[in-house]
Amino acid sequence: MKLLTIFFFCTLALPLLGQNAEINTKEAPVIFKSGVNMVPVPVVVRDGKGRAVGNLGIEDFQLFDNGKPQMISKFTVEKLVKEPPAPSGARSQPVNPATSGGTLADANTDGIPDRFVAYLFDDLHMSPADLVYTRDAAKRQLDSPTHASERAAVYTTSGLPMQDFTADKEKLHSALAAIGTGRAAATKSQMQLGCPPMTHYMGDLIHNKSQTQPLNLAVADAMKCANLTPDMREVAVGMARRAAQQAVLSGDRDTVASIDAMRSVIAKLASMPGQRTIVFVSPGFLVLEEYLDQQTGLIERAIRSNIVIGALDARGLYTSTGMPDASEANVNTATMTEEATFKRTEMTVQSDVMASLAEGTGGTFYHGTNDYDEGIARTAAAPDVLYVLGFSPLDLKLDGKYHNLKVTLKAGRGMDLQVRKGYYAPRYAADPAEKAKQEIEEAFFSRAEVHDLPAILQTQYFKTDNGDATLSAVAKVDVKKLQFRKADDRNVENLTVLTGLFDNDGNYVSGIQKVVEMKLLDETLEKRVGAGIAVKSSFTVHPGRYVVRMVVRDSEGQLMTEQSSMVEIP
């Protein structure tokens, strides 16, 4: 498991209270690590006309884990239609006065990037025609009028080319134009021109599942393409088995590469501060049983990072006959009809990975049509309403086994539910400290405004003579309104304050984490910290636009405040 580790150091400003035994500040590394005690289950509900249903409550849902009913302990409704912006309030006052040689200015909070769409093209499996049509549709989607705060990125499963998130459409156009299908074409040519021809699916049936009928068909193909006589059948059997083994090795290599690419894009999007969507453009590919846990892991990571995955079948409206072209090299007309049955099944199975990723994260799986413009638009759009049900499995064994999930509506006639199919049980118990880190991570890379704690964010910058600036962010906390725990003669409470800086394209720049440990006497709490405390973080920045993100979490009430502010340094 990859861990995101960031080391920060900062100082604490304490109005009316000096550093003493009652308040201790501690520098701490931020180590984000996913936990699995709570299983999140995204659900999209649509009526008979395909419209999102957004008026349901927790009491309307029933959730089953391996057929056993579960108690839904967490329920959120994400309405992704933007609300009108709130009226801007008074500007915050500077925390420190300006010194000579510079200028102190308040923060501008307009224009914060809040939506990120990553286009992932599966160039390891796409044909040239698939790429041309879908790439042109993606370009038209990027050129259409969009919200000024949206950022897009272009990635491929082969790893090249790559364009991280930007609002520069010329850079996005260049990345799209540079995508090719050389490796996919070479692999397909190798399989079709080989003797006998072999696909990943047929290779799996022969090499892994030892099925007789696919082997006999491959043997017949080998005898024809190698001009073997009937007494040389064992030679053909060897050729068929070797071709099947090679097809499995080659197919699994590209499957793993595609899964790794998706994992990398999810990790990148997880660090973007806003609404996140992946548009996966692919003709599909086979995911064998030994890799299904990795596929489920992608869904798990996406859900925990609030990422919606939409999938577009790049094959469009492909034929379902499964019949190859008799004019192609190494095609055995004697086996065409029987092999067509396997071909049809293969075409369906290849799309399972796209359907699972979309259904499991609340996205759209668009297939069976050549309207690529509509397909790109629909897969890039997050659902209007997304319900997220959370539950802690009863009597969960830490054995890593797969669990089937089912969600129903108590009164759901005519409703269609889109739900993830299952999850893998953990192999170890989650640590409460790790759960807290996970909550802070999710809040930090969100764009939600939450005010459960009495804390506010204030920002200002100090412009220096050399053109750079010192940007300060201050978390002001009303200490008297916190939930303290009495221990001996002290009032105990800890605050974790995480302040981060993102550039105008949403890329992480820098950050600071501070843990404030408070063990206050009654008199101190009542009189000396009446004005609260201020946790200050400072960054040296170049001119440009930045987003400051603040998350404050307390240890006793386990509540959070989350706030963002845009700062423009001229």
Q: Is the pLDDT of residue 129 over 90?
A: no
Residues 394 and 541 in one domain: no
405: confidence class by pLDDT, cuts 50, 70, 90: very high
Residues 220 and 366 in one domain: yes
Q: Which helix (H) or strand (E) holds 496?
A: strand 490-503
Q: What is the pLDDT of residue 10?
A: 37
The fraction of the chain above a pLDDT of 70, given in percent, is 82
For 505-538, b where at least 16 C-beta lie within 10 A, e where not — what string?
bbbbebbbbbbbebbbeeebbeebbeebbebbbb
Q: Are 456 and 564 in contact, with CB atoms under 8 Å apart?
A: no
110: confidence class by pLDDT, cuts 50, 70, 90: low
Q: Is the pLDDT of residue 294 over 80?
A: yes
Residue 473, both tokens: 């962010």
Q: Higher-confidence residue: 329 or 519?
A: 519
CA pair distance 253, 240, nearest whole angstrom: 20
Residues 441 and 373 in one domain: no
Residues 309 and 401 in one domain: no
Q: Is the pLDDT of residue 280 over 90?
A: yes
* First-to-last C-alpha distance (Å) of the chain: 41
Residues 15-44: pLDDT tens digits? Answer: 434 445 677 665 555 444 444 467 889 999
**Per the structure, how many domains does the chain have?**
3
Q: What is the pLDDT of residue 556?
A: 85
CA pair distance 291, 207, nearest whole angstrom: 16
Assess if residue 105 is contained within a domain. Answer: no
User: In this structure, what CATH number is given to the domain that contains residue 355?
Assistant: 3.40.50.410
Q: Higher-confidence residue: 476 or 82?
A: 476
Assess if residue 207 is contained within a domain. Answer: no
Q: What is the pLDDT of residue 306?
A: 83
The residue from 372, 402, 424 where one domain ends is: 424
Q: What is the pLDDT of residue 28?
A: 57
Assess if residue 194 is contained within a domain. Answer: no
CA pair distance 568, 520, nearest whole angstrom: 39
Instruction: Give the CA diameter of the chain.
Output: 100
What is the pLDDT averaged over residues 385-401?
A: 86
Q: Is the pLDDT of residue 481 over 70?
A: yes
CA pair distance 301, 361, nearest whole angstrom: 10
Q: What is the pLDDT of residue 220?
A: 94
Q: Is the pLDDT of residue 8 over 60?
A: no
Assess if residue 203 is contained within a domain. Answer: no
Assess if residue 109 is contained within a domain. Answer: no
Q: Higher-confidence residue: 4 or 242?
A: 242
Q: Are 112 and 566 in contact, with CB atoms under 8 Å apart?
A: yes
Q: What is the pLDDT of residue 342?
A: 92
Residues 70 and 152 in one domain: no
Residues 256 and 349 in one domain: yes
Q: What is the pLDDT of residue 375?
A: 94
Q: What is the pLDDT of residue 107?
A: 42
Q: What is the pLDDT of residue 187?
A: 66
Q: Are 89 and 123 in contact, with CB atoms under 8 Å apart?
A: no
Residues 546 and 438 in one domain: yes
Residues 306 and 171 in one domain: yes
CA pair distance 78, 72, nearest whole angstrom: 17
Residues 366 and 395 in one domain: no
Q: Is the pLDDT of residue 1 over 50?
A: no
103: confidence class by pLDDT, cuts 50, 70, 90: very low
Q: What is the reported pTM? A: 0.72
Residues 521-563: pLDDT tens digits? Answer: 888 888 777 668 889 999 999 999 898 999 999 988 888 898 8
Residues 155 and 274 in one domain: yes
CA distances (Å), 95 to each of 13, 15, 104, 405, 549, in order? Answer: 10, 11, 10, 51, 17
The residue from 380, 408, 443 where one domain ends is: 380
Residues 131 and 180 in one domain: yes
In terms of residue numbers, what domain contains 153? Answer: 115-185+215-380
Residue 45, both tokens: 């509900």
Beta bridge partners of 386: 78
Q: Are 425 and 399 in contact, with CB atoms under 8 Å apart?
A: yes
CA pair distance 564, 457, nearest whole angstrom: 8
Helix (H, G, I), strand (E, B) or coil at 295: helix
Q: What is the pLDDT of residue 189?
A: 60
Q: Higher-confidence residue: 441 or 418?
A: 418
Helix (H, G, I), strand (E, B) or coil at 71: coil
Compute the mean pLDDT over every residue in the chain, rounded to the nearest whole number.
82
Q: What is the pLDDT of residue 88?
A: 42
Helix (H, G, I), strand (E, B) or coil at 361: helix
Q: How many angstroms from the chain centroid is the CA of residue 65? A: 24
Q: What is the pLDDT of residue 112?
A: 62
Assess if residue 199 is contained within a domain. Answer: no
What is the pLDDT averaged over residues 47-61?
A: 89
> Which of 105-119, 246-260, 521-535 is predicted least confidently?
105-119
Residues 457 and 420 in one domain: no
Assess if residue 363 is contained within a domain. Answer: yes
Q: Is the pLDDT of residue 331 over 50?
A: yes
User: In this structure, what CATH number is given to the domain that contains residue 435?
Assistant: 2.60.40.10
Q: Is the pLDDT of residue 190 over 70?
A: no
Q: Which helix (H) or strand (E) holds 541?
A: strand 533-541
Assess if residue 286 is contained within a domain. Answer: yes
CA pair distance 349, 199, nearest whole angstrom: 13
Q: Are 470 and 462 in contact, with CB atoms under 8 Å apart?
A: yes
445: confidence class by pLDDT, cuts 50, 70, 90: confident
The residue from 380, 395, 414 where one domain ends is: 380
Q: What is the pLDDT of residue 92?
A: 39
